[in-house]
Amino acid sequence: MIVDRLPDVLVPEPSPRFLLLIRRSSAIARRYLVTNGFDGTLTMLGLIMGFRTVGQVPIQVALTACTGAAVALAVSGISSAYVSERAERQRELAALQQAMLDGLDDSAHAHTARWAPVFIALVNGLAPFLLAQIVMLPLWLARFGTKLPISPYDLAIGVAFLLIMLLGLFSGRISGVSWLWSGLRTLLIGMVTAAIIYLLSP
């Protein structure tokens, strides 16, 4: 007996990883990871530098302000990336359907148009949030009574500089340029930012 169509169970839906790869979403996600991770880390550096220069700001106040900023960066990153990426994917899908004169609702391209914006948006929003939490870790430790060898603010600033440099190293590695120079360049940006905040503080 000839069957016109294989049962659905014998035709597995393409995996999200495959769908992302065919549209090179992983490359876009890496760029978002670096750029928004850098933004989140630099924002935390600016806030903590400000708290440090104005005097002994209570740890709880600093944590509240930094957490609020981290959440705002995450929500902004997720929503903005999802809206923009979804619009772009839908536009590409519509152009492809028009060129092929056929619907692509169940195709790999359609699945990519649905799932790639979600993946990219999560990377875009979670990168600054998670890196901000790492910068804030010394403040959390101090908040719960952990004794630190130096001021939690100074330690958090040091963590921020380290993360900024690591992001530069990662960026240089994936772009094929000198990873050391890329790391030093981003570190220099962080140091210039800290110097400007210090000079402008009352």
Q: Is the pLDDT of residue 48 over 60?
A: yes
User: Scanning the structure block, which residue is given the tokens 């106040």?
Assistant: 61
Residue type, 31: R
Place 140 in a pLDDT band, splitting at 50, 70 and 90. Answer: very high
Question: And the tokens for 91?
Answer: 């536009």
Q: Where in the chain are the domains?
A: 18-200
Q: Where are the alpha helices (DSSP H) in 101-178?
A: 108-143, 152-175
53, 153 Cβ separation under 8 angstroms? no
Of residues 196, 197, 181, 193, the one with CA closest to residue 38: 193
Q: Judge contact between 132 and 73, C-beta under 8 A.
A: yes
Q: List, in order, residues 6 or more apart from 95 with CB less than 8 Å away.
A: none
pLDDT above 50: residue 198? yes
Is the pLDDT at 182 greater than 90, yes or no?
Answer: no
pLDDT band at residue 11 using 50, 70 and 90 as cut-offs: very low
What's residue 138's pLDDT?
Answer: 94
Residues 6+ apart with CB under 8 A from 23: 89, 109, 112, 116
Structure token digits, residue 74: 């995450």
Q: Give the length of the chain.
A: 202
* pLDDT tier, 2 (very low <50, low <70, confident <90, very high otherwise): very low
